[in-house]
Structure 1
Amino acid sequence: MFKIQTLNKISPKGLNLFSHDNYEVASEIGSPDAIVLRSFKMHDMELPETLCAVARAGAGTNNIPIESCSEKGIVVFNTPGANANAVKEAVLTSLLLASRDIVEGISWVQSIKDEGENVPALVEKGKSQFGGQEIKGKKLGIVGLGAIGAMVANDALALGMEVVGYDPYLSVDAAWELSSDVKKATGLETLLSDVDYLSIHVPLLESTKEMFNSEKFAMMKDGISILNFARGGLVNNDDIKAALVSGKVATYVTDFPSADLLGVKGVIPIPHLGASTEESEDNCATMACQQIKDFLQTGNIRNSVNFPTCEMPVKSGEKRIIIANKNVPQMISEITSLLADNHVNIGDMLNKSKGDLAYNIIDIDGEVSEDVLNKLREVDGIIMVKNII
């Protein structure tokens, strides 16, 4: 029986994938084989010895100790694209909020609630102070053309905007999803100098931390609106506040408000609602749980942030072991030689690597003893061995 621990409330549509006798699911459970979570911070958590997989029902994995998991051979999954539509709709909403002074207008109307019969006349008299502009015909720059960025680009085109994108790491799969009408910027600086709106869709890494700062703002058109539904740390808060005061930036819509941004004129703070829809939570949970189930039952890996994608069909009658190891020379020969020396015949094998880690799916004829598995575990460089089928 596989034990699944949940560290947050997870959509039943995902957990229902575990609803048969081979699984036990609970928030409090000893010796879990896998953990499913959303925003729970695992960094101070002691990782159980039995743990072999963690799945984040969402794209970001900053709350998971990736390095510690990798050292123990624990596969960490995320769910890229599962919440993309929800975030895209929030970005499109923010485009309109940044263009039309709707937020301030609503606040002002609420402030005259005690004016009674004078309200309609006051509204007509005061509405001009909240005028704005249309997004049709304006130019939107998108930095990062993954699942969310591509969807924003395509829908912004449908709304009549001109769209320019920049992503030096654009994948083939993402490129297929992108409309041919999206113009490709030759560089980030070129894009920043030419757009009326900027939408940010890049991960928060050491190399991207505060990448949008005074130097980048200086390259932009005066009066640009910036939309950040990626991560708060991508934008330098002191520099964005200065840019708002100077008029370089007209509006900053962020889904990651911090205390120093609240009450600042031109900032529209949204309480991290980008992926907060019922559909998004269902999609993320279903994707996370399916990936955990596939891994536990077949050893196949898809959408892991620390291990390579590695999938091999299960053949009837064959047994399977999986091995994670450091990505160093001679490991495959050591593994295959040890199995041969112990009279274990390999029917099929797949080896993939990602950075410092490698992963092997090995189908064998017949059973493999616990003694052989322990010998594999003792090989220098091997960090995880499991008998799957």
Structure 2
Amino acid sequence: MYEVKTFNAIAQAGLDTFTDDFEINQTDEPDAYLIRSVNLLQAELPESLKTIVRAGAGVNNVPLGRATAQGIAVFNTPGSNANAVKELVVSLMIATARNLFEAHNYSDEHTEADVSQRTEKDKTKFNGTELAGKRLAVIGLGNVGSLVANAALALGMKVIGYDPYLSANAAWRINNRVKRVDSIKNAVKNADFVTIHVPKNNETIGLLGTKEITEMKDGAVLFNYSRIGIVDNKAAVKAIRSQKISHYCTDFGEPIIADQEKITITPHIGGSTLEAETNGAVQGANTVMNYLEEGDTTHCVNLPNMQVPFETAYRVTVIHQNVPNMVGQISTQIANREINIENMANAAKEKVAYTVIDVDDLQGKDQEGLISALEGIKEVYKVRVIKHR
């Protein structure tokens, strides 16, 4: 029996996904955490914990370095809220193009008896533009960016895309009418709208700043529905005040952009739909089960992604440092106990590696002794033995 502890409100459909081999919220020493936005950065992680799965895309609320050192695999659920974010961005493109925010404020301030006559006279102040024929630059063509790009094409827009890390799977999702360019400068230089959809890491913090905004078309509209810090908010405020850009919409508020005319802040609601929460919970539950029952690391953010068919009676998984001779040391410890290796797979992600060893039989073998010996290798973080169900 595996134990799962949840944080935040996990959609019931996700909880219902777990099989009878999993108990939910029955202990404070679980095998898995299934979370949403709870802040674990300062939390003590129990020794029993083997995985943390975030029902959502971002994992900036998880202490990745500490989790890795404890041999805890951390996952997200990419794509589960992509459609929700896409629809919000598209709705904001329409709202800014048609000056809906300004029109609402006007109507809210003019509720006197002659409002119909007055608004009929003044409505030309809010003349907007149509999206058809306008140019959209999409920075990042992954799960969200590809959907935004395709939706914009369906609205009759011209779409330019930039993504130097575009995967083969992501490329298949993108309409071939999306023109791909080789730099942010070439993407934004003639765009009426610029939207950014990239993960937050050392390479993307400040990705769109003063230099990039300077290259943008005067009066362009800018969107940040990725993470705070990817757009330099100081540069965005300066561009708004100088009328370099006409509107800035973001899902991530901070004091510098508060109470600024022509800046619209939504309260981190990009993925907040009933459907997205259900998708994330179901995907998260399946991720927990696949990792605990098979050692599958698909969508793992701190380990290499591996999906190895489990066709033997037992599987040994080892999370360890990516240094020379680790596979040799691991296989030697197994061979010393006269255990036959049927299959072995190994992969690395930066400084961390993951080794999967399938063995024919551990019946009558000293499993605890094997685990102890493998964890005795100083570069090893965690060892698990999984019995095929």
The aligned residue for residue 336 of structure 1 is 331
The aligned residue for residue 67 of structure 2 is 69
Residue 318 of structure 2 aligns to a residue whose secondary structure is strand
1:306 aligns with 2:302: yes
Structure 1: which 4+ aligned runs deviate by more than 3 Å? none
Residue 324 of structure 2 aligns to a residue whose secondary structure is coil
1:180 aligns with 2:179: no
After superposition, residues 8-23 of structure 1 pair within 5 angstroms as: 8-20=8-20, 22-23=21-22
Alignment coverage as a number of residue pairs: 384
The aligned residue for residue 206 of structure 2 is 210
1:318 aligns with 2:313: yes
Unaligned runs of 5+ in 1: none
The aligned residue for residue 29 of structure 1 is 27
**Aligned residue identity for 2:178:** V
TM (normalized to structure 2)? 0.96
Q: Which whole-Å CA distance do the structure 2 matches of 1:307 and 1:322 have between them? A: 12
Residue 121 of structure 1 aligns to a residue whose secondary structure is helix
**Aligned residue identity for 2:196:** I
**Aligned residue identity for 1:322:** T
The aligned residue for residue 138 of structure 1 is 134
TM-superposed CA distance for 1:272, in Å, is: 1.5
Judge conservation of contact 2:164–2:182 (CA < 8 Å) in 1.
no
After superposition, residues 1-389 of structure 1 pair within 5 angstroms as: 1-20=1-20, 22-26=21-25, 29-113=27-111, 115-116=112-113, 118-315=114-311, 318-367=313-362, 368-369=365-366, 370-389=368-387
Cα displacement string for residues 354-386 of structure 1 (whole angstroms, at most 9, x for unaligned residues)? 111111221112114211221111012111111
TM (normalized to structure 1)? 0.96
Q: Which whole-Å CA distance do the structure 1 matches of 2:238 and 2:307 have between them? A: 50
Q: Which whole-Å CA distance do the structure 1 matches of 2:242 and 2:265 have between them? A: 19
Name the stretch that deviates more: 145-154 or 351-360: 351-360
Q: Which whole-Å CA distance do the structure 2 matches of 1:281 and 1:307 have between them? A: 25
Unaligned runs of 5+ in 2: none
Cα displacement string for residues 252-293 of structure 1 (whole angstroms, at most 9, x for unaligned residues)? 011112233222111122121111110000001111110111
**Aligned residue identity for 1:337:** T
Q: Which whole-Å CA distance do the structure 1 matches of 2:377 and 2:352 have between them? A: 15
Judge conservation of contact 2:316–2:384 (CA < 8 Å) in 1.
yes
**Aligned residue identity for 1:174:** A
**Aligned residue identity for 1:352:** A
TM-superposed CA distance for 1:213, in Å, is: 1.7
Q: Which whole-Å CA distance do the structure 2 matches of 1:324 and 1:255 have between them? A: 36
**Aligned residue identity for 2:143:** A
Q: Which whole-Å CA distance do the structure 1 matches of 2:263 and 2:23 have between them? A: 46
TM-superposed CA distance for 1:312, in Å, is: 1.8
Judge conservation of contact 2:53–2:76 (CA < 8 Å) in 1.
yes
**Aligned residue identity for 2:284:** A
**Aligned residue identity for 1:347:** E
Residue 206 of structure 2 aligns to a residue whose secondary structure is coil
Cα displacement string for residues 98-152 of structure 1 (whole angstroms, at most 9, x for unaligned residues)? 2111012112212223x13x22112212211111111110110010010110111
**Aligned residue identity for 2:250:** T
Residue 233 of structure 1 aligns to a residue whose secondary structure is coil
TM-superposed CA distance for 1:61, in Å, is: 0.5
Q: Which whole-Å CA distance do the structure 1 matches of 2:27 and 2:99 have between them? A: 50
CA RMSD of aligned residues (A): 1.3
Residue 132 of structure 2 aligns to a residue whose secondary structure is coil
TM-superposed CA distance for 1:37, in Å, is: 0.6
Q: Which whole-Å CA distance do the structure 1 matches of 2:285 and 2:70 have between them? A: 21
**Aligned residue identity for 2:81:** N
**Aligned residue identity for 1:135:** L
Q: Which whole-Å CA distance do the structure 2 matches of 1:207 and 1:350 have between them? A: 30
TM-superposed CA distance for 1:161, in Å, is: 0.4
Identity of matched residues, %: 36
Task: Indicate how the Cα distance of structure 1 residues 186 and 372 shifts in structure 2: closer, same or farther if over 3 A, else same.
Answer: closer
Cα displacement string for residues 35-73 of structure 1 (whole angstroms, at most 9, x for unaligned residues)? 011111101100101111000000100000001111111
Name the stretch that deviates more: 28-37 or 39-48: 28-37
Residue 17 of structure 2 aligns to a residue whose secondary structure is helix
TM-superposed CA distance for 1:19, in Å, is: 4.8
Residue 206 of structure 1 aligns to a residue whose secondary structure is coil
TM-superposed CA distance for 1:250, in Å, is: 0.5
Residue 361 of structure 1 aligns to a residue whose secondary structure is strand
Q: Which whole-Å CA distance do the structure 1 matches of 2:217 and 2:62 have between them? A: 38
